[in-house]
Structure 1
Amino acid sequence: MKNFFLAVLSLGLFIGSVPLTALLPAPKATPKNIIFILSDDHRYDFMGFTGKVAGLQTPNLDRLAREGAHVQNAFVSTALCSPSRASILSGQYAHTHKVVDNFAPMPKGLTFFPQYLKKAGYQTAFLGKWHMGNTGDQPQPGFDYWLSFKGQGVYYNPTFNINGKQVSHTDSSHTTDLLTDYAVKWLNTVDKKKPFMLYLSHKAVHAMFEPTRRHRGQYRNVPINYPRSMYLTATDTSKIWGPKPSVDPETGALKANVADMPNWVKQQRGSWHGVDYMYHGQIGFNDFYRQYAETLLGVDESVGRVLTWLEANGLSENTMVVYMGDNGFSFGERGLIDKRHAYDESMRVPLLVRCPAVVKPGTKLTSVVQNIDIAPMLLNYAGLPKPAQMQGNSFLPLLAGKTIPWRDRAFYEYYWEVDFPQTPTMFAARTDRYKYIFNYGVWDANELYDLQNDPGEVNNLIRSPQHQDIARQLRGELFTWLETTQGMQIPLNKVQQKRFDHRFKGTY
């Protein structure tokens, strides 16, 4: 009996010396959820908190920036729907994944980040615009739940492919609202003890812009911020390579180096993608601008509904919410609309990341981040390694305030499309000070811009004697990038596509 009491006493002393938590079952790790929200053609400065667009209100995007991180130097590697979306999903450049335009088929064996998440036990869902070559609206690998539509889709009364079944909607249902409805409905079905990944891919704000009925006319009286470069006048040839463009005091037009502006840019202002003949005169610039802003309101409300669901379900802390645009959009700069080109309003995008467990509120990240970095970053957050084929890198440590080796320039590529022959194949390298653009396959000028003195990119310095060294350096870096990433051969689209002749509004 004495030995028994000694044993009990010894055990009591041992227990008293060990923290209570060490004697309890180890708590299960809190699931690291992911919500990725992608918009279409949303340019980087069209958010209320930037203060760049008069009257624009985006309270939910503003909240993401306020409560998380605003990645201020986010760029796509190709400013076109399908290539950019494939880069986001694959972590690869377009010349690697080969989805180089809106018709190119997805090559066999191309693996997207949701497939890795699903294999790791994530509940996964895709809702919205897929828009990649030969895939139509069919369910894709990596997703437990699938909802999509064919091609660009429509803004009103869409037909969705929901897990392989065609479901039509009527009664003036707006696609932005419907996608959010279905997203919230799916979120209500997830097992909250397990991690989930929601990929919400909006059609908005793709042209032609159509806001929800409740947002129509909301910005009818908002003043328009016409870009200074919408109308240019040639400067004195003795000042052709001056440090900064100036304003003509008589006309108010921006005086710039028009002589060295590429001919394809000059000619495009009177085309399908130019301010003087927008979409063959289907709409005027002012209505076009305001309807874009009104259509964006629906996307902002969608973000708000997702955040509300997270709060109501107690999942805000460890859920990473990422908002991004698939490419930017021109609104009159150098007389252009649309995207595709390598100017900042086209290749620069909004990127907001909210995750209280990782990102401090109000973080302003100035590092250069590209769309190829999204997949590695999300996998990193989920605790998964970066697959060897991914060319991007995780910027999660940067979001957490850590210092790591990181790039200081962005690279860009765009491949000529038979549907839009006025825009050439081009490649670009952009640092925080300079941008070099190589226009391939046209008898035209290459471009060099001093972004510090000429943020509007109108004063081409390609013939400036004092800028030849930087032009040569960036050209060399551009081709080194292509060589080291197996991008020296321009991928050709083998599929037969319907060609649209924008001069005559006909097909052949």
Structure 2
Amino acid sequence: MNIRLGICILGLFSALAALIVVPGYAPKETEVQQANRPNIIFIFSDDHAYQAISAYGSKLTKTPNIDRIAREGAILHNNVVTNSICGPSRATLLTGKFSHLNGYKANEGKFAVNQSVFPEELKKNGYQTAWVGKMHLGTLPNGFDYLNVLPGQGHYYSPDFINSKRDTVRYPGYVSNVITKLSLDWLNQRDKSKPFFMVVGHKATHREWLPDLRDLGAYDKVNFPLPATFYDNYEGREAAKDQDMTIDKTMRLKEDLKVHADYVKNAVYKRFSPEEKKVFYEYYENKISKEFDEKKLTGKALVEWKYQRYLKDYLATANALDRNIGELLNYLDKSGLAKNTVVVYASDQGFYLGEHGWFDKRFIYEQSLKTPFVIRYPGVIKPGTQINELISNIDWAPTLLNLTGTAIPKDIQGESFLPLLTGKKVPWRQEAYYHYYEYPVPHHVYPHFGLRGGQYKLVRFYGPKDFWELYDLKKDPQELHNIYGVKGYEAVTADLKTKLKDQIRKYKDDEALKIVESGQ
């Protein structure tokens, strides 16, 4: 059965059911809307690693509300991004295009508002659209009836928001809680005659990992095991050796770990009420900083202490994220909207939680390349669905359009994976293309592009230095052994280079094409 036809038939049955009048019964909003297209809520976090989500097998923490979406719908195990960095990932969500075509290659730029974005297509199809929370695109794009977004990176405490009227308003409280409140306010006040699409953009779990005050110390009794690659020596991997994103050397005690934080000069702490500052100060100054002073750590002991503090703050910050997702899910249940609302949870990219001794993202390597993605659509996506195919974030926009029966513009580079979500066996990509640009600041990761397949990954670094890397993901899932140029892999390398060039041409990446055609 055609998928769109199937969805329409489901809606028709619901519409007929709604005509049956039961004395004294007032139908819930969603039962009236059920004949229409589904609503969509896209919950989009920042730097939230799949390794920190229990639905993905994490042993570090529990994320019951993200897990609920996965359990009641589908989980994508190989969802990758095209450019592992915050702003460019959001630009790809909006456009369904790679960075070189949507023009947003690196953070802190300005998204070109004159280009088409998929919410515009939803509006043409009768949808009301909104984005609340973190956007981080330098401009306010078209396609939204309502905007209430953080300026730039935003703040964790008493955050400012810019609304559709371009007014800046400061809200007291913790950012994850404020974002949920503003989202619920819009849901309650929207035009209920229309289906809706809303992005709920969370700041968590972005650096400097500042938790909700109620979550301070949530993991203090936990001693996290070091990742197997924590003391990676980067042998044979020049870019990995020459980065600036280690817990050892890059992570800052004062700003990142709040050891003797500067409460006078740092703007973050000026946003506290006196009561909030007292709670924060008591924990980080009188407990954590005091502990640090008493231990007098050096060498590996210091690095490992920093790792423990990093994870404790990161995961405590994620607690409020998951809790607020639960609050939104509960609202959908109580309002009756859950039955006809698609709920997506995704992060803008992956993140390192000590693997290779790192934090941050950027590389094509697995922990930063793969991002969590779970989706629920009652009656359409079977609960417990597992998707192992390679999905890229260029595929998100066309899939959301497909779900709503909205035409997919021809210039979108991704493909709808709705057939996979509904259990169909369809031809699908065997390799995913990637291109990262931002260099040298802030983390000195060489620009590179490459191909991630089912077994092999081929990478071309360029710019300050030109070299290739090749990994066998089945034999070497930690990507510790660069086998480019190793005897016995000549045929594999040649095949992957051909496929890489094909992908570069397919996606019209002229900059990469010039590099590979140079023969270097």
TM-score range normalised by the length of the shorter chain:
0.7 to 0.9
- Once the two structures are TM-superposed, the CA of residue 475 in structure 1 deviates from its matched residue by 2.2
Q: Is the 8 A contact 2:105 2:438 kept in 1?
A: no
Between the aligned partners of 1:188 and 1:370, the Cα distance in structure 2 is 33
Equivalent of residue 443 in structure 1, options 451, 465, 470 = 465
Equivalent of residue 275 in structure 1, options 225, 247, 252 = 247
Computed over aligned residues only, the root mean square deviation of the Cα atoms, in angstroms, reads 2.2
Kindly indicate whether residue 186 of structure 2 is the aligned counterpart of residue 186 of structure 1: yes
- Once the two structures are TM-superposed, the CA of residue 89 in structure 1 deviates from its matched residue by 0.8
Between the aligned partners of 2:192 and 2:334, the Cα distance in structure 1 is 13
Between the aligned partners of 1:227 and 1:381, the Cα distance in structure 2 is 39
- Comparing 38-47 with 439-448, greater Cα deviation is found at 439-448
Aligned equivalent of 2:223 = 223
Deviation string 1:78-121 (CA, Å, 9 cap, x unpaired) is 10011111001100011111100013332353111111112221
- Once the two structures are TM-superposed, the CA of residue 416 in structure 1 deviates from its matched residue by 3.3
Equivalent of residue 47 in structure 2, options 23, 36, 41 = 41
- Comparing 432-441 with 342-351, greater Cα deviation is found at 432-441
Equivalent of residue 414 in structure 2, options 385, 388, 392 = 392
SS at 1:66's partner residue? helix
Q: Is the 8 A contact 1:98 1:104 kept in 2?
A: no
Between the aligned partners of 2:130 and 2:369, the Cα distance in structure 1 is 28
Deviation string 1:26-65 (CA, Å, 9 cap, x unpaired) is 99823410000000001122112333333x0111011111
Aligned equivalent of 1:166 = 168
Counterparts of 1:40-119 in structure 2, within 5 Å, are 40-54=46-60, 56-107=61-112, 109-119=114-124
Which residue identity lines up with residue 156 of structure 2 in the other structure?
Answer: Y
Which residue identity lines up with residue 82 of structure 2 in the other structure?
Answer: S
SS at 1:278's partner residue? coil
- Once the two structures are TM-superposed, the CA of residue 490 in structure 1 deviates from its matched residue by 6.4
Deviation string 1:218-253 (CA, Å, 9 cap, x unpaired) is 0112231322111136xxxxxxxxxxxxxxxxxxxx
Aligned equivalent of 1:300 = 322
Equivalent of residue 127 in structure 1, options 115, 132, 135 = 132
Equivalent of residue 368 in structure 2, options 317, 321, 346 = 346
SS at 2:77's partner residue? strand
Between the aligned partners of 2:252 and 2:326, the Cα distance in structure 1 is 36
SS at 2:489's partner residue? helix
Kindly indicate whether residue 208 of structure 2 is the aligned counterpart of residue 208 of structure 1: yes
Aligned equivalent of 1:157 = 158
Q: Percent identity?
A: 37
Deviation string 1:160-192 (CA, Å, 9 cap, x unpaired) is 11222211123xx11111000010111112344
Q: Is the 8 A contact 1:278 1:285 kept in 2?
A: no
Which residue identity lines up with residue 242 of structure 2 in the other structure?
Answer: Q
In the alignment, structure 2 segments of 5+ residues that lack a partner are 1-15, 21-31, 258-305, 514-520
Between the aligned partners of 1:405 and 1:297, the Cα distance in structure 2 is 38
Q: Is the 8 A contact 1:326 1:349 kept in 2?
A: yes
Q: Is the 8 A contact 1:334 1:458 kept in 2?
A: no
Equivalent of residue 236 in structure 2, options 253, 257, 260 = 260
Aligned equivalent of 1:359 = 381
* Higher normalized strand content (fraction of residues): 1
Aligned equivalent of 1:377 = 399
Q: Does the C-alpha gap of structure 1 residues 276 and 403 become closer, same or farther in structure 2, counting only changes over 3 Å?
A: same
Kindly indicate whether residue 456 of structure 2 is the aligned counterpart of residue 434 of structure 1: yes
- Comparing 395-404 with 469-478, greater Cα deviation is found at 469-478
Between the aligned partners of 1:312 and 1:37, the Cα distance in structure 2 is 19
- Once the two structures are TM-superposed, the CA of residue 197 in structure 1 deviates from its matched residue by 0.9
Between the aligned partners of 1:286 and 1:483, the Cα distance in structure 2 is 45
Q: Is the 8 A contact 2:83 2:436 kept in 1?
A: yes
Between the aligned partners of 1:447 and 1:328, the Cα distance in structure 2 is 20
Aligned equivalent of 2:143 = 142
- Once the two structures are TM-superposed, the CA of residue 445 in structure 1 deviates from its matched residue by 4.1
TM-score by length of 1: 0.82
- Once the two structures are TM-superposed, the CA of residue 424 in structure 1 deviates from its matched residue by 0.9
* Higher normalized helix content (fraction of residues): 2
Q: Does the C-alpha gap of structure 1 residues 161 and 94 become closer, same or farther in structure 2, counting only changes over 3 Å?
A: same
Which residue identity lines up with residue 170 of structure 2 in the other structure?
Answer: S
Counterparts of 1:424-503 in structure 2, within 5 Å, are 424-443=446-465, 445-489=467-511
Query: Who wins on radius of gyration, i.e. which is larger?
Result: 1
- Once the two structures are TM-superposed, the CA of residue 457 in structure 1 deviates from its matched residue by 0.5
SS at 2:186's partner residue? helix
Q: Is the 8 A contact 1:159 1:166 kept in 2?
A: yes
Deviation string 1:370-408 (CA, Å, 9 cap, x unpaired) is 111111011111111110110001111110111122112
- Once the two structures are TM-superposed, the CA of residue 417 in structure 1 deviates from its matched residue by 2.5
Aligned equivalent of 2:429 = 407
Deviation string 1:267-303 (CA, Å, 9 cap, x unpaired) is 33xx3x1122133444322111111111111111121
- Once the two structures are TM-superposed, the CA of residue 317 in structure 1 deviates from its matched residue by 1.8
Deviation string 1:109-151 (CA, Å, 9 cap, x unpaired) is 3111111112221111110111114x1xxx4321121101211
Kindly indicate whether residue 336 of structure 2 is the aligned counterpart of residue 314 of structure 1: yes
Aligned equivalent of 2:38 = 32
Which residue identity lines up with residue 175 of structure 1 in the other structure?
Answer: V
- Comparing 41-50 with 67-76, greater Cα deviation is found at 41-50
